[in-house]
Amino acid sequence: MDTATFPDHVLERWRDEREVRVETSAQVDAPAHRTIIWIVVDDAGRAFVRSYRDATARWYREAIATRQGAIVSGGDRVPVRFESVADEGRIAACSGELARKYAGDPATAAMLRDEVLDTTLELRPIDSSGPSPARRAHRSCSTLAS
């Protein structure tokens, strides 16, 4: 398992932001699009996202297909790798943070359904010391499609 972490200021922003944009594409070299999603960071500094629409959400399908994308928030674009989460501990950590961060939001229950637990993804940093991938054009989506 990769132990690389995001800088503290990135994790703090993600803890505070109610919504972020996830940037994904159907193929690594294809144009990207952005969709609004929820993000949580647990006490161990692990960042998680989950699809309330289960595996049918476009951003989720693309994240699984390419395993890379970006999170855009606070004017910054942070490249990420998407890691599927299968162990109960990380799934529970994500669920707990979703329940805490979004308490009182009517959509929270949809994020905690058994049917969507297997769409939990942990975000990992992409090593920026190597060659950077070509910047892709994106189309901004204005609807919540997580």
21-53 tens-digit pLDDT = 999 999 988 999 999 999 999 999 999 999 999
Q: Is the pLDDT of residue 57 over 50?
A: yes
Q: How many residues does the chain have?
A: 146
Q: What is the pLDDT of residues 79-98, one digit of tens each?
A: 999 999 999 999 999 999 99
Task: Look at 128 and 144; give whichever has higher pLDDT.
Answer: 128
Pairing relationship of beta strands 138-144 and 32-37 according to DSSP bridges: parallel
Task: Give the Cα separation of 61 and 119 in Å (integer).
Answer: 10
- pTM for the structure as a whole: 0.85
Asked if residues 57 and 38 have their Cβ atoms less than 8 Å apart, the reply is no
What is the predicted pLDDT for the residue at 108? Answer: 97
**What domains appear along the chain, each with residue ranges and CATH number?**
8-129 (2.30.110.10)
Residues 40-56 as b/e (b if ≥16 CB within 10 A, e otherwise) read bbbeeebbbbbbbeeee
Residue 3: per-residue pLDDT: 62
pLDDT in tens, 129-146: 444 343 344 443 333 444
